[in-house]
Structure 1
Amino acid sequence: MRIVKTTLPSNSILNISHKKYDYVDSFQGELNDIDNKFNSVDIGKAFFSSGPKWIERLFALRNKIVSLFGLKTSGNISDQKKQFENFKCEPDQQLGLFKVFAKTENEIILGEDDKHLNFRVSLFLEEKEKKSTTKELTISTTVEFNNWFGRFYFLPVRPFHKRIVPSMLKEIIKELEKKD
């Protein structure tokens, strides 16, 4: 499966706002949707249920470190599993560190605002061609730094982020294609 670096989709909610971000990246992969049944809720749920174990361990380490600085953490895993059972991908719902900010039929915006930075993750599903069973799934991340600590915090995060997101995208696509 090929994942490519791309640009923030022009019709993404994150792009329509014409906001200037301190950091933006986007990665895209192809998803086979034979029955044309996947929507933003499916993509959002797969985002939370398909991550590789090494990413879970990295987030656990991140939570331990940032809690020392009073930053938000994703909470404990058992609470997240309970939250996931009731998760409908509706605006203002929270799952771990991620709050749902917006949802359309083909896009969900997740993220969080903290004292050091604000981030958003767009999971954007788009038909490759009309009447095609292949769709493009793009994960985009935007970051706004609120202070110098946000910039400092993101320095070591950035290289990990560029490895984590393509891996997550592959796993999301694999999980969804198993259901098709």
Structure 2
Amino acid sequence: MTTTVREVTPEVQADALLAGAQFIDAFRVEIGATGVNAREACTRMVVDGPRWIEMLLRLRNILVRPFGLKTSGEGAPAPGGMIGLFPVLSETHERLVAGFDDSHLDFRIVVDVSGNAASRRVTSTTLVRTHNLLGRTYLTVIMPFHKLVVRNMMGRIVEPAR
């Protein structure tokens, strides 16, 4: 199966997920008959990713630590546990919401699985609400990497389970 990840118009109720979000985007991949729920799709996206994404996250953690920003694995325990470095905030079979609130910005990642058994698709939506100049600067700096990373992560959903 050829994996094509495409940017789509977000189809979530942004205010219900992150009121006041200033940034929102969504990417979708058709997965055919691949049987995954939202947690499995998210896990395939974020666990055991390519080294270059891992290196970007390590660099990010080193660069933001002096500013007092949260790094991977920090913060309060998540109601739904963790998937990779993302705290799971809520979950159904069809939708998983992960993310956290920090002093500079709040973010949510929403993974939706939809369609019928023969033609399923996964949509990943990112929402961000910035709080200050540091948050706006951070968002501007990571944006060129965001789309590249999300496209790569989404493409991994149709790969066999690890």
TMscore range, shorter length: 0.7 to 0.9
Secondary structure at the residue paired with 1:135? strand
Whether the aligned pair in 1 keeps the contact of 2:14 and 2:127 (CA below 8 Å) is no
Q: Distance in 1 between matches of 2:38 and 2:84?
A: 18
**Alpha carbons of 1:45 and 1:96: their partners in 2 closer, same or farther (altered >3 Å)?**
closer
1:73 to 2:61 alignment? no
Q: How is 1:1-180 mapped onto 2 (pairs within 5 angstroms)?
A: 1-9=3-11, 12=12, 14-15=13-14, 17=16, 19-33=19-33, 37-75=35-73, 91-95=79-83, 97-127=85-115, 130=116, 132-174=117-159, 178-179=160-161
Q: Distance in 2 between matches of 1:61 and 1:99?
A: 20
RMSD: 2.2
- Mind listing any 5+ residue stretches in structure 1 that lack a counterpart? 77-89
**Paired AA for residue 67 in structure 2:** F
- Mind listing any 5+ residue stretches in structure 2 that lack a counterpart? none
Aligned residues: 155
Q: Which moved more, 1:37-46 or 1:65-74?
A: 37-46
Percent sequence identity over aligned pairs: 32
Whether the aligned pair in 2 keeps the contact of 1:101 and 1:109 (CA below 8 Å) is yes
| Alignment TM-score, normalising by the size of structure 2 | 0.85
Give every structure 1 segment of 4 or more consecutive aligned residues whose post-TM-superposition deviation is greater than 4 Å: none
